[in-house]
Structure 1
Amino acid sequence: MNSITTQVLKLFLLLATLTCLSACNVTHFEKNNAISLAQKGELTSARTAIKRHYSSQGKNRLLYHLELATYFQLEKDYQQSNKHLTHAKDLLESFYTVSLSETALSQFSGPTYTTFHGQRYYRPLLHVMKALNYNALAIAQPENRPALQDSALVEMRQLNLYLEALTDETGGYNPSVNDKLTNQIYAILKPILAPKALLSNIDYRDDAFAHYLSGVINEQNGELDSARLQYQRAASAYENGFAEQYQLPPDTTKQAYNNLARVMTKSGGYEIELERLKGKIDPQQQNHLSQLTVIQNIGVAPQRKQFNLVLTADHDSKALVMTPIPFGTHAERQAQIQWFQMLFADTSIFDMIQNYTMGDSSDVALGFVTKRLPLGGLWDNAKKVGLIDALQYGARISVTYLAPPKERIKSTEIWVNGQKHSQLHPFHSIELLTVQNALKNANTEIQLALTREIVKAISAQKLLQKTGLQQHEVFGSLAKFATSAVNAVTAAADTRQWQSLPAQIRVAQIPLPTGEHNIIIKTQLNSGRVINQTEQVNVSGQMSLWQTRTFIDAPPQSKSSTSSSIFNLD
């Protein structure tokens, strides 16, 4: 077939890919509108959407339970919430070993056809949710209070064991594949897409906020020694990197040390340790008053979206070339290009020299919008396994990306009985945690996506050879074009996630005398909008806790706060 016809078929393939993108580039987040309903205060409709979109027995069963647990908690149905959280915890434990059959399936059909296994940072959040639910039930059911408080403490012990194991780990989890062809392709691509320096020091190594809240729950249940250990771990983690990694203010670390000092003072016998803490704590903290802990879950964690590239083979420079195909709104296209340039584009001095020596000067300029994978001596191996021939018309590669986080909150203030009291400070950024987790997994994800699409293309080529069409000049090229088009349409990235998680968690701990107090949280957005959330708090014990959810994208006329809970413990 002549070169003109080949170019025409390549153009048709590109048009087919773009047509597919316009129809099927809808993200998992957009298909499931539950969070949009929740932001309007329509929690029952949100749960209905979850049940319609997921199955309790299907490949998304983990998300089924996680999402329903969140919405039941917002509705203050804590028993149902914990029921689903228990199912979710059991599933996470059962997913420890990845099924080889599912791994093989993902290599040929894509990750969206396999069971969603979640992220490693889901587990601490799950334990925290369960413990808070048990605390709420302890207030609602005084006759069962001791047993429910014990259950909350059990969750904190399990959380501690998980975090200890997490901090002891030295490496991540990589899915193994036993298929010979897949291993060959992966081996060719792996040394080319090595992680860059920007991906260092963004591992999820510990969870300072989970330790902190564990300290609060242990303290309010009278477990002062356990509370002291958890506050110590929280303060140490915040001080030694957690706060810096997730861009948290110094007030966060100071509050953790304040809590540590308060528990030491309550317990007695820690005079030497308290002396060492001077300079790290607020000497004016009022230990004789009851403490109200306010936890504000703000916004929605960033959504995972699909990002598409085309992979072709350059015979002249013996290289594979990845070219992004931005799609969507102007902001989405910009985010896709920025993600590509940050992680994959040939922007380093080494990459530019490689492009210059392997091709011509135009490759150097194109390096900012393409990724060239010089195979060098691996080119012959790539030809031998059929990789180069399989890319005659290119292959569509789909991976995930996240839009860069935007600071939308100017401040969050606490007003007590009509008077401004203090600020709520960020104690955890699930938004940054989600983005960093995606960055850390980006290279592995694109290696697997490249491997998967190439294996699919080579497998199709071998099938054509068996049919005999491969030998016919016209029909053989048309058949190869058709298989490339089918593979382009079926390629998809895994955008599944726990969508109802907040973007940020803010905390304040304020000393108050016993009695009724009118508490208002005023969330001031950079847009100028102010969201007010009010609760009458009856402070009757040493420790009280108010947890609330603030949806900042909710329409002004809807309920921005869908739930708040008061837990007063003696």
Structure 2
Amino acid sequence: MLIAMKGVMLMLAVMLLHGCASYKQQTEPARQALLVQDWAQAEQALVRDLDGQRREKILLNLELGMLRHLAGDYQASHALFEQAKADAELAQTTSLTEELRVLMTSPRQRMYRPQTFERLFIEYIQTLNFLALSEAAATSDEQRQALIDARVMARQMEVQLNDLAAQVLDFQAAAEQRETPFYRLLAILRLLNGDLFDRSDYVLRDNAWLRYVTGMVYEQRGEWSPARVAYQQAAQLYEQGYSAQMGLNEQAAQQAWFDTLRMMKRLGQSDWPSLAEQKLSTKQQALLQAWQTDWVELVQVVHQGWIPQRGEMNAMLIVNHRTQNMEVYPIILAAGDEGLAQSIWFYLMYTDKGLARLALNIYQDGLRGIVRGAIGSKTLFLGPIWPQVQAVGLDRAAQTPLRVTIPYYDLLAWPQPVQPNLMLNEQALSAVMMDAPAVQAVYAQLLAANEDFYAALARAMIKRLGVQAVTQDNVWLRLIGDVATSATEAAETRNWQTLPAYIHLHRQWAEPGQVSWVDKQGQQQQRNLAPGERVWLPVTRQ
């Protein structure tokens, strides 16, 4: 007995040490360095605090790749991203040992695999790397090679986007689906059930901005027809639903149409004036009419803010034998806005809402059912499968409260975009917001919310059953085992933190000659630009 007690105490100590810090806390020093744009300090903190050998190896290379990009070390950035992609490819093979470790601890024990939207941005940053190298090239051969490399990255980005688009309905098909009688009936049923939104609205179907970037690469290489196709794909995506999905205004679509029409004009296609009347503002039409192929151009991409961090919150579950339900309640321990943000997330994602849920709660549990719904709980109805629940022991596992941990986003601290300006020939010019990775991050979590929730429930149940099997009727050993397994529970809150929250674009044209602008250090720059010359300014962080 004494040996068993010592063993459990040792396990308890190990588990408590393992689960003492969240990923957000783990990377807080790096986050603080990012906020003041100290790339070297951020890199040191990430190398020190992340597991660069196994669990966070891929994630660490993504972070370092972005930091080297921001520091202007573009070749090193490219190499780090290539390593991250190679490791991510290998990580697709699931290890049974790893999955067992996750089952008995938490998803933080699994090697990090980039989310779909993160995977798309790898080639995007690599493309920007080579565009920057082409601008800084000392010889025409170096410039040519950098543009070839940029095209390779852009083409890889297109392949990724095409693969994504092949897996889901496009915006137009999804819009047509919403008009069918079956879909309308489902919408009514969702309202009765209290679902506040249709999750299919938040599926990532394509990325208009990345399509647009491929167009810029083709144009830079003088491939006018492929550039026109890419720009038009982007314009149509923005119009069909991407702008609405990402919270962008009509300027993003108009920018993409403007560049589509420029390519049409350059190619001598006669129908560009009539299409311009349909797609462009009066000011843009006038600029397009005046635009000549020998005009010079300044291009600047502005990355603004940092992608939000995922937090983790706790919930308590218990099986109600009388009603044959599993009831889940949020555990809100944080004070102030953080606690409120956790309550909001749990309500939006999980809480029982709607007339149908209210009626069922009242039918099953009377006034207690009303109270349970009012305080924000989730009920899983086990009645139809109660014999199976008893057969596997789930009714015993959650007979006393059981803690689970789930990821969430603090919607109250959401980063807000700010309009950046570019000074060209001493004139302030506004930018166009073209994409919102921050929105893509929260959508990805929204779509994964139920899966994360049920996986957390399953892990908690299996841990509890394991403790019961080992400790049997010894109350104290069971208590210690429950505490130890609870200490190992953690939500998957890792994400690529150096991605920007928002992406803006400046594209400004002028007649050939002396052109001046203010660089990202605030210094005045001047250059005599030859006809048709394009200047790629380094990506600006704001």
TM range (shorter): 0.7 to 0.9
Secondary structure, aligned partner of 1:441: helix
Residue identity in the other structure for 1:536 = Q
Match of 1:314 in 2: 320
Which of residues 376, 382, 387 in structure 1 aligns to 2:394?
387
Aligned partners of 1:480, 1:29: CA distance in 2, in Å?
30
Aligned partners of 2:487, 2:83: CA distance in 1, in Å?
35
Aligned partners of 2:41, 2:515: CA distance in 1, in Å?
33
Aligned partners of 1:301 and 1:501 also within 8 Å: yes
Aligned partners of 1:194, 1:113: CA distance in 2, in Å?
35
Aligned partners of 1:196, 1:485: CA distance in 2, in Å?
36
Residue deviations 1:127-160, cap 9 Å, x none? Answer: 1111111122223333322222111101111111
Match of 2:537 in 1: 546
Aligned partners of 1:513, 1:56: CA distance in 2, in Å?
50
Match of 1:166 in 2: 164
1:344 matched to 2:359: no
Which of residues 423, 431, 434 in structure 2 aligns to 1:415?
423
Aligned partners of 1:219, 1:141: CA distance in 2, in Å?
18
Residue identity in the other structure for 1:361 = L
- State the 1:90 CA deviation: 1.6
Match of 1:146 in 2: 144
Secondary structure, aligned partner of 1:491: coil
- State the 1:248 CA deviation: 0.3
- State the 1:516 CA deviation: 4.8
Aligned partners of 1:309 and 1:398 also within 8 Å: yes
Which of residues 64, 88, 94 in structure 1 aligns to 2:60?
64
Match of 2:211 in 1: 211
Task: Name whichever of 152-161 and 483-492 sits farther off.
Answer: 483-492
- 1:535–1:403 CA distance, 2 compared to 1 (3 A): farther
The equivalences for 1:113-128 within 5 A come to 113-128=109-124
- State the 1:533 CA deviation: 4.7
Match of 1:53 in 2: 49
Aligned partners of 1:224, 1:194: CA distance in 2, in Å?
51
Residue identity in the other structure for 2:151 = L
Aligned partners of 2:146, 2:415: CA distance in 1, in Å?
38
- State the 1:329 CA deviation: 4.0
Task: Name whichever of 504-513 and 112-121 sits farther off.
Answer: 504-513
Task: Name whichever of 69-78 and 532-541 sits farther off.
Answer: 532-541
- 1:170–1:206 CA distance, 2 compared to 1 (3 A): closer
Aligned partners of 2:194 and 2:355 also within 8 Å: no
- Scaled by the length of structure 1, the TM-score of the pair is 0.81
Residue deviations 1:25-49, cap 9 Å, x none? Answer: 6443653422321322322111111
Residue deviations 1:212-238, cap 9 Å, x none? Answer: 111112101112122112101101110
- State the 1:198 CA deviation: 3.2
Aligned partners of 2:196 and 2:348 also within 8 Å: no
- 1:290–1:141 CA distance, 2 compared to 1 (3 A): closer
Task: Name whichever of 411-420 and 253-262 sits farther off.
Answer: 411-420
Aligned partners of 1:302, 1:547: CA distance in 2, in Å?
24
The equivalences for 1:144-293 within 5 A come to 144-170=142-168, 197-268=197-268, 270-272=269-271, 275-281=274-280, 282-285=284-287, 286-288=290-292, 289-293=295-299
Aligned partners of 2:258, 2:227: CA distance in 1, in Å?
12
- 1:332–1:535 CA distance, 2 compared to 1 (3 A): farther
Q: What are structure 2's unaligned runs of at least 5 residues? A: 1-11, 170-192
Secondary structure, aligned partner of 2:286: coil
- 1:200–1:103 CA distance, 2 compared to 1 (3 A): same
- State the 1:75 CA deviation: 1.0
Match of 1:183 in 2: none
Aligned partners of 2:463, 2:524: CA distance in 1, in Å?
57
Secondary structure, aligned partner of 2:53: coil
- 1:395–1:142 CA distance, 2 compared to 1 (3 A): same
Aligned partners of 1:301, 1:534: CA distance in 2, in Å?
28
Residue identity in the other structure for 2:114 = G
Aligned partners of 1:318 and 1:379 also within 8 Å: yes
Aligned partners of 1:359, 1:25: CA distance in 2, in Å?
39
Secondary structure, aligned partner of 1:279: helix
Aligned partners of 2:320 and 2:399 also within 8 Å: no
Match of 2:384 in 1: 377
The equivalences for 1:99-110 within 5 A come to 99-110=95-106
Aligned partners of 1:515, 1:90: CA distance in 2, in Å?
45
The equivalences for 1:83-102 within 5 A come to 83-102=79-98
Aligned partners of 2:301 and 2:503 also within 8 Å: yes
Aligned partners of 2:25, 2:462: CA distance in 1, in Å?
28
1:365 matched to 2:371: yes
Match of 1:133 in 2: 129
Residue identity in the other structure for 1:140 = A
* Structure showing the higher helix proportion among its residues: 2
Which of residues 21, 28, 33 in structure 1 aligns to 2:24?
28
Match of 2:173 in 1: none
Aligned partners of 2:330 and 2:346 also within 8 Å: yes
- State the 1:534 CA deviation: 5.0
Match of 1:79 in 2: 75
What RMSD, in angstroms, separates the aligned Cα atoms of the two structures? 2.5
Aligned partners of 1:310 and 1:395 also within 8 Å: yes
Residue deviations 1:364-408, cap 9 Å, x none? Answer: 232142112121122232122111211233211111000116463
- State the 1:250 CA deviation: 0.3
1:483 matched to 2:481: yes
Which of residues 448, 459, 462 in structure 2 aligns to 1:441?
448
- 1:506–1:309 CA distance, 2 compared to 1 (3 A): same
Match of 1:400 in 2: 407
Aligned partners of 1:321 and 1:371 also within 8 Å: yes
Aligned partners of 1:380, 1:124: CA distance in 2, in Å?
46
Aligned partners of 1:264 and 1:274 also within 8 Å: no
Aligned partners of 1:331, 1:307: CA distance in 2, in Å?
13
Aligned partners of 2:233, 2:158: CA distance in 1, in Å?
10
Residue identity in the other structure for 2:534 = M
- 1:533–1:253 CA distance, 2 compared to 1 (3 A): farther
